[in-house]
Amino acid sequence: MKHGREAKPRSNQKGFNRRQFLTSMGASGALLAAGTRAPAAATKHHDGMVQAGDMTRINLLINGHRHSLLVEPRWSLLYVLREKLGFTGTKEGCGRGECGACTVLIDGVPRYSCLTLAVEVEGSEITTVEGLMKGEELGPVQQAFLEHDAYQCGYCTPGQIMAVEGLLRANHDPSAADIRTGVSGNLCRCGAYTHIFNAAQKAARLKGGKK
């Protein structure tokens, strides 16, 4: 393309001239027509950009066992647990960190697995609701939830249990206020909160060797 004086805007001209406008519109149309080719072209200009479909190998320590697998860096821990490793006790509720159904422990601390990338937790200790059992024997928190009927539909229950488990690992003798705070990030659409609070108190006694 020749660049004559006609192609250059005058120094006192504001904005686009007609030629520049049509040229820019043509370039935009070409990008739209290119469809999925546009991101690929952009990648060439930005070193390190990760594209969908790129895989990386990670090693996860889950319930005391190591798992080596290929993941996309964008995959959430929730997706990897459920869809790639079969830990279906962890539930997907809202998928955006509002309900707590997907709560797991990461290094003993309750976290929403839907908001956590799998690649983030390599090297951490991950505990799901399945990891609280000893063979077929329920853990203390699970047993307390069963005894106090701390569920109705049961969908939020795994996340509630993990929230209580995390609380009791940090505080062996929580007050009623501590319990309410500890499970405040977990929603129960059935409204079984009184039963959940009672179960948490029972679980604290069971963990302390009391009945």
- Residue 76 falls inside a structural domain: yes
- Residue 2 falls inside a structural domain: no
Residue 9 DSSP label: P
CA-nearest of 124, 102, 123, 125 to 113 is: 102
Give per-residue pLDDT as tens, 136-151: 999 999 999 999 999 9
> What is the predicted pLDDT for the residue at 57?
97
Q: Please give the residue range of the domain that contains residue 82.
A: 56-207
Give per-residue pLDDT as tens, 21-76: 444 445 444 433 444 333 433 333 355 666 667 899 999 999 999 999 999 999 99
- Residue 162 falls inside a structural domain: yes
> What is the predicted pLDDT for the residue at 209?
82
- Residue 179 falls inside a structural domain: yes
Average pLDDT over residues 100-112: 98
- Residue 14 falls inside a structural domain: no
**Domains held by the chain: number:** 1
Percent of the chain at pLDDT > 90 equals 73
Task: Please give the Cα distance from 151 to 155 (Å, whole number).
Answer: 8
Kind of pairing, strands 125-127 and 56-62? parallel
Burial class (CB in 10 A: 0-12, 13-18, 19+), 131: buried
- Residue 9 falls inside a structural domain: no
* Residues paired with residue 112 on neighbouring β-strands, in sequence order: 103
Full-model pTM: 0.76
- Residue 32 falls inside a structural domain: no
- Residue 22 falls inside a structural domain: no
CATH number, domain with residue 174: 3.10.20.30
**Side-chain-facing half-sphere of 47: CA atoms under 13 Å:** 0
